[in-house]
A and B are shown apart, each in its own frame.
Chain A
Amino acid sequence: MTAVSTPASLQRSMHAMDNAEVLRIRNDFPVLDQLVNGKPLIYLDSGATSQNPLSVIEAEQEYYEQRNAAVHRGAHHLAVEATEVFEDARQTVADFIGAQYEETVWTSNATEGLNLISYALSNAALWAAQGRGGSALKDLAIGPGDEIVVTEMEHHANLIPWQELAFRTGATLKYIPIEDDGTLRLDAAADIVGDRTKLLAFSHASNVLGTINPVAELVAIARRVGALVVLDACQSVPHMAVDVKELDIDFAVFSGHKMLAPTGVGVLYGKQELLDVLPPFLTGGSMITTVTMERAEYLPAPQRFEAGTQRISQAVALATAVNYLTETGIDRIHAWEATLGQRLVKGLEAIDGIRVVGPASGTERIGLAAFDVAGVHAHDVGQFLDDRGIAVRVGHHCAQPLHRRLGLTATTRASTYLYNTTDDVDAFLDAVSGVRAYFQA
C-alpha cells in the first residue's frame, strides 16, 4: 500500500490556530515588522483597516508590471490578459461568499455599495413613475408612506444612505432599538417591521459592540412582509464564513481593505433578479448596450453597475487576499479571533473603571472590544497606548447614535485579525491597566 501524503494546507486545517502559527503568518505582513515609539508595533485596529500580506502587495505590482490595460475593450494582448485576471478575481470573490459571478459587483468600498443600492432604489421610483423598467420595478419602488428600517447599532455608512433615500422618496426611516447588553431587540423588530416596510438594512456584526446579529431571524421578519434585506457584512466577511445564499439576503456589501486587500475596492452582492431590473446608479462607459443621442440601453449586472474604468489592480489584489484567507481557513480564523475577543473582554472586565460595551465575556462576539475608561477620554487612552506601540481606534467609530444610546461620546476599540497573538492582547491589557493611574483618574 502506498502512503498518501496529506497536503500542507489540509494538515493545517485540521488544527486550531495557535500563537506559533500566527507568528509565521505575521512574517507575511511587512508593515507589522516595525518599532513604534521604540516598541514593537502591536496592531489592534484591523476593524478600521487591515494590513496586507506580501502576496497581495505583489499581486498589485505584478498586474502593473505585466498586464495593465483597459478591460472589456481593445483586442490586444494586454487588454485580453487584464480582462481575464479582472474577471477571474470576480469569480474568486463570488465563490468566497457563495454568490454567482453575475451577482458580484465591484465598488470602491462598502459605503459606495450601500449608496449604490440607495440610489438604484430611488431611481427605481423615478423610472416606475414614468412607466420605465416594466412591472418588476413597480414592486421595488419606494414612495411616501413606505418605511425603511435600520438598527440603532449601525455604522453611519448603513444609516445615512437610508436617511437620504427616505428623504428622496418621502418614505419614513425607523429603527430597531438595542438592549443594554448590545443585542438587538428582536421582539421590537417584529413590531417595527410591518406591512409598509420596503427594506430592512442591518449589520451582520457590529463594529463597536462586537455583536453578531441573528440574520436568519431578521430575514424571516422581513420576508413576512416582503421587505428587501440589505446586510452590511464589513465586519463579518473578513472574519468568518459567509454564504449569501444560505443567509437568503437580497444585498450584501463589504470592503476589501478590511480583509487584507488594498483600499479602493469593495463588493456589492445582489440577487441577480434584483440587479438585472434595478436602474443603474452611475452611468457612462462600459455599462451600456446601445446609445443614441436621446437615450441608452444598459447591460445586465454586474456591468450594469460598473460605469467607467474599474479598479482593476485592486480587484486582482482582493482576490489574492481572498486566497490568503481561504488557504489559512476562514473557519480557523473565526475560531482564533473568537478566542482573542473573549480574552480581550475578560481581561478588560477585570480592570477597575473599565466598561466594555456590547456582550459580556462568555457571550458570542467577534474579535474586537470597545470600552470606556472612567475619568479618561478615549483620545487620551489611545495616545497612552500609542506611546507603548499599541495601535487602537478611538472616537465614535462612525456610530454616533449608538454611542448616544450607550451614554458615551467616544470609546476606545481594540480589534484583532489573523496576525494577532494572545501576547498582543495581554500586552494591550497590561497597558490599559495603567491608564487611569497615569491620568490620575
Chain B
Amino acid sequence: MSLDQLYQQIILDHSKQRHGSGLAETDAPDGTSTGQSHQLNPVCGDEVTLRLAVSEGTVQQISWDGAGCSISMASASVLSELGEGMSVEELHSVIDNFREVLRSRGKVQADPEILGDAAAFEGVARYAARVKCAMISWVAAEDALNQATA
C-alpha cells in the first residue's frame, strides 16, 4: 500500500476545489425540508457542519463548512457532489455502502458504479487511523438526512 494510493489525485483535487463548501453562501432551495448536523473528531480536531435539503424524496442540496485534513475535506466535497439529485433511499444505501468499504480494512472493494468518485477513498480503509477522517461528513449527512425526512 503506497502513499499515492491513499492520496489519489482526485482526493487532492477535491480537498482544494471543495464542492458544496460554504453554508452561509448558500440558502436551502424553497420548499425543501432541511437537516443539519455538526460532527467533530476530538482526536485531530476535524470538524464538519453539513446541511442537507430534501423535497419530494430527492436530495436537492448538500452544503457544508469544515476544517480538517485533506481526506476529510475531500470526502465532504465528493459526498456533496455525489449525493445531490439522489433519492433519499439511494443516498442512504450509498452511505451504507461507503461505510462498509471504509470499515472493511481493505477487504471490501469499492464499486465505482455505486460510489462514483467516492470509490477513490478505498485506500483509506487500510489506514485505520484515517477512516474517521473519511467518514466524518458521511456521518453528518446520515444524521442530517434523518432530520430532513423525520
Residue A148 interfacial (CB < 8 Å): no
Whether B7 contacts A379 by the Cβ 8 Å rule is no
Residue A365 interfacial (CB < 8 Å): no
Whether B70 contacts A410 by the Cβ 8 Å rule is no
Give, as a whole number of angstroms, the nearest-CB distance from B40 to chain A: 11
Give, as a whole number of angstroms, the nearest-CB distance from A190 to chain B: 34
- Chain A residues lying within 8 Å of B127, measured Cβ to Cβ, are 383
- Chain B residues lying within 8 Å of A380, measured Cβ to Cβ, are 7, 69-71
Instruction: Show the binding face of B for A, using Cβ within 8 Å.
Output: 2-3, 6-7, 12, 16, 43-47, 67-71, 127, 130, 133
Complex CA gap A396/B71 in Å reads: 18
How many residue pairs at the A-B interface have CB separations less than 8 Å?
45
Complex CA gap A354/B7 in Å reads: 21
Complex CA gap A380/B3 in Å reads: 11
Whether B3 contacts A394 by the Cβ 8 Å rule is no
| Size range of the chain A interface in the assembly | 10 to 19
Give, as a whole number of angstroms, the nearest-CB distance from B127 to chain A: 7
Whether A410 contacts B12 by the Cβ 8 Å rule is no
Whether B12 contacts A377 by the Cβ 8 Å rule is no
Residue of B nearest to A379 (CB): B69
- Chain B residues lying within 8 Å of A395, measured Cβ to Cβ, are 43-45
Q: Which of B2, B3, B6, B70 contacts A377 (CB 8 A)?
A: B70
The interface centre, meaning the residue of A379, A383, A395 with most chain B CB atoms within 10 A of its CB, is A379
- Chain A residues lying within 8 Å of B71, measured Cβ to Cβ, are 379-380
Whether B45 contacts A387 by the Cβ 8 Å rule is no
- Chain A residues lying within 8 Å of B45, measured Cβ to Cβ, are 395-396, 400, 403, 409-410
Residue of B nearest to A441 (CB): B16
Complex CA gap A383/B44 in Å reads: 13
Residue of A nearest to B47 (CB): A409
User: Known: A378-B44, A410-B44. Is A384-B3 also a contact (CB below 8 A)?
Assistant: yes
Complex CA gap A379/B133 in Å reads: 9
User: Known: A377-B69, A379-B69, A380-B69. Is A439-B7 also a contact (CB below 8 A)?
Assistant: yes
Whether A440 contacts B68 by the Cβ 8 Å rule is no
- Chain B residues lying within 8 Å of A377, measured Cβ to Cβ, are 68-70
Whether B43 contacts A383 by the Cβ 8 Å rule is no
Whether B6 contacts A439 by the Cβ 8 Å rule is no
Whether A439 contacts B67 by the Cβ 8 Å rule is no
User: Known: A379-B133, A383-B130. Is A394-B70 also a contact (CB below 8 A)?
Assistant: no
User: Known: A379-B133, A383-B6, A387-B3. Is A439-B70 also a contact (CB below 8 A)?
Assistant: yes
Residue of B nearest to A394 (CB): B44
The interface centre, meaning the residue of A376, A377, A394, A410 with most chain B CB atoms within 10 A of its CB, is A377
Complex CA gap A20/B15 in Å reads: 44
Q: Which of A379, A387, A439 contacts B44 (CB 8 A)?
A: A379
Whether B68 contacts A379 by the Cβ 8 Å rule is yes
- Chain B residues lying within 8 Å of A410, measured Cβ to Cβ, are 44-45
- Chain A residues lying within 8 Å of B68, measured Cβ to Cβ, are 377, 379
**B interface footprint on A410-441 (CB within 8 Å = 1, 0 otherwise):** 10000000000000000000000000001110
- Chain A residues lying within 8 Å of B43, measured Cβ to Cβ, are 395
Give, as a whole number of angstroms, the nearest-CB distance from B2 to chain A: 8
Residue of B nearest to A410 (CB): B45
Pairs A–B under 8 Å by Cβ, sample size 17: A377-B70, A378-B44, A379-B71, A379-B130, A379-B133, A380-B69, A380-B71, A383-B7, A383-B127, A384-B3, A387-B2, A394-B44, A395-B43, A396-B44, A396-B45, A409-B67, A440-B16
